[in-house]
């Protein structure tokens, strides 16, 4: 127990004393809020045009999270850095010499990331939502409207889960550059593209990001195979798998 508390303190020190981790986490907030605000502003000014071909009712909540597509990348980078810095610097050997029970180290990292990403994620989602609604003017919604609070909380949870997923993947790959090289293109290009391809789409729906983002929409697509919370649950399963894999690699392989 004492070892766990010590490891948590140490991980917090590691994160706050390196500029890159602090900057990426701040960027997640700034990018998401900024881009979402811009999207809301534009939507409000060109409302009829923007919603002309829509099949579902206008989702004011989801619109105010439009920036999450880019903001999530910063969250992913943060997760990769927290784990990958150990390998890129060689610090992992010092860390494991200090805490030979390797599960403790990974658990401490994941826990600190969980708390930080959750705080930043929820802050981001609430600010993004409130600012976005203010900019949407007459088309805005409120937290009291049906499903809106779920979506706002869900957006924070979603960012947290993606961050933890990155930690797990990096623990498996043990390489910062490789992890970024796989995760960034996947979430920015591969997943969105595959989600648009017929047939493949049905598989892509179960990718961590597509599944997790279901929770952000107030209105679900008519053909959705799962509900918003189930979607987030699928995303959480990915996270559990990635962290489990990371733990196995860390525990079994030579450091």
Contact predicate 236/162, CB 8 Å: no
Does position 115 interact with another protein (CB under 8 A)? The reply is no
Which residue, 85 or 179, has its beta carbon nearer to another protein?
85
Any contact of residue 85 with another protein (CB under 8 A)?
Answer: yes
Q: Is 20 in the site for another protein (CB under 8 A)?
A: yes
Distance of alpha carbon 27 from alpha carbon 35, whole angstroms:
11
Instruction: Using DSSP, state whether 222 is helix, strand or coil.
Output: coil
Which one of 26, 45, 49, 101 is in contact with another protein (CB under 8 A)?
Answer: 101
Total residues at interface with another protein (CB under 8 A): 29
Part of the chain binding another protein (CB under 8 A), chosen from 42-50, 96-104, 129-137, 202-210: 96-104
Q: Is 98 among the residues that bind another protein (CB under 8 A)?
A: yes
C-beta of 92: minimal distance to another protein in Å?
Answer: 8
Dihedral, CA of residue 228, residue 232, residue 238 and residue 239, to nearest 10: 180
Q: Does 202 bind another protein (CB under 8 A)?
A: no
80 binds another protein (CB under 8 A): no
Q: Does 170 bind another protein (CB under 8 A)?
A: no
Query: How many residues can be counted in the chain?
Result: 255
Q: Min. distance of Cβ 146 from another protein in angstroms? A: 46
Contact 118, 160 (CB under 8 A): yes
To another protein, the closest distance from the beta carbon of 105 in angstroms equals: 8
DSSP calls for 136-185:
HGGG---TTSTTHHHHHHHHHHHHHHHHHHHHHHHHHH--HHHHHHHHHH
Could you tell me if 217 and 151 are in contact, meaning their C-beta atoms sit under 8 angstroms apart? yes
Q: How far is CA 228 from CA 23, 25, 140, in A?
A: 31, 26, 21
Options 26, 46, 54, 100; binder of another protein; rule CB under 8 A:
100
Q: Does 1 bind another protein (CB under 8 A)?
A: no
Q: Which residues bind another protein (CB under 8 A)?
A: 2-3, 6-7, 9-11, 13-14, 17-20, 85, 89-91, 93-102, 254-255
């Amino acid at each position: 127990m004492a070892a766990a508390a010590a490891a948590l303190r140490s991980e917090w020190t590691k994160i706050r004393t390196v500029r890159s981790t602090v900057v990426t986490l701040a960027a997640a907030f700034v990018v998401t809020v900024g881009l979402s605000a811009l999207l809301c502003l534009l939507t409000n000014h060109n409302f009829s045009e923007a919603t002309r071909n829509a099949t579902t009712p206008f989702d004011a909540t989801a619109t105010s999270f439009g920036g999450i597509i880019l903001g999530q990348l910063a969250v992913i980078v943060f997760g990769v850095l927290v784990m990958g810095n150990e390998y890129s610097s060689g610090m992992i050997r010092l860390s494991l010499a200090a805490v030979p029970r390797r599960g403790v180290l990974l658990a401490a990292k994941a826990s600190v990331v969980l708390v930080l990403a959750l705080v930043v994620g929820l802050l981001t989602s609430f600010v993004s939502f409130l600012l976005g609604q203010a900019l949407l003017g007459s088309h805005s919604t409120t937290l009291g409207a049906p499903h809106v609070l779920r979506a706002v909380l869900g957006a924070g949870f979603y960012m947290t889960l993606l961050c933890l997923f990155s930690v797990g993947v990096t623990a498996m790959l043990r390489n910062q550059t490789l992890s970024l090289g796989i995760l960034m293109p996947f979430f920015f290009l591969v997943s969105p593209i595959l989600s648009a391809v017929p047939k493949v789409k049905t598989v892509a729906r179960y990718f961590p990001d597509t599944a997790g983002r279901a929770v952000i929409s107030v209105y679900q697509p008519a053909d959705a195979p799962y509900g918003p919370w189930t979607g987030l649950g699928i995303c959480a399963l990915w996270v559990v798998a990635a962290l489990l894999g990371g733990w196995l690699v860390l525990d079994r392989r030579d450091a």
